[in-house]
Amino acid sequence: MWSVCTPRSNEVFTECALIGKNLSRLLQPAILAVLKANTEPLHGYVIVQRIAESPMYGGSKPDAAGVYRTLAQMEKGELVTSTWDTSQHGPAKKCYSITEAGELAMSRWVDTLGCYMDAIDELRGMICDSLQIEVPEHHPCCG
């Protein structure tokens, strides 16, 4: 999707921020989708890795601290639950699972993302009108 801007360095990531590549608001639905796709609870670092594999991030890891903050907020909102994994050597690790409320939130995200798409299309039109250009059919940054 974001072939023009798949951050491979901090410099490129900064450029991506200028085009809205790093959409932190979309962490919640991304986390929910990752958790729903798995039958077992996931460690936070695995969630970060799976999100990095998504087209939105193109292999670059999202800010891990932001993912953990979002997970904590989601746990307070009862969208996810956590347990401590003490089965391995070393420190205990928190593992996360999606709740029924989290699944309902995913359904709402489907509609919300549709609204975002409509709003973005409208904004693209406004920008093109301001530039006095036609709205391109092909999105050059999406491959």
- Distance (Å, whole) CA 25 – CA 97: 20
In a domain, 119, yes or no: yes
Work out the burial of residue 115: count CB atoms within 10 Å of its CB; fewer than 13 is exposed, 13-18 middle, 19 or more buried.
exposed
In a domain, 52, yes or no: yes
* Cα–Cα nearest to 44, from 24, 65, 28, 16: 65
Q: Kindly report, residue by residue over 41-79, the tens digit of the pLDDT.
A: 999 999 999 999 988 777 788 889 999 999 999 999 999
- Residue 41: partners with Cβ closer than 8 Å, 6 or more residues away: 82, 83, 85, 95, 96, 97
Overall number of domains in the chain: 1
Mean pLDDT score, 75-104: 93
Query: What is the domain range of residue 61?
Result: 10-142
Map tokens 């490129």 to a residue: 12
In a domain, 2, yes or no: no
In a domain, 3, yes or no: no
Residue 22, domain CATH: 1.10.10.10
pLDDT of residue 24: 65
CB 2 within 8 A of CB 21: yes
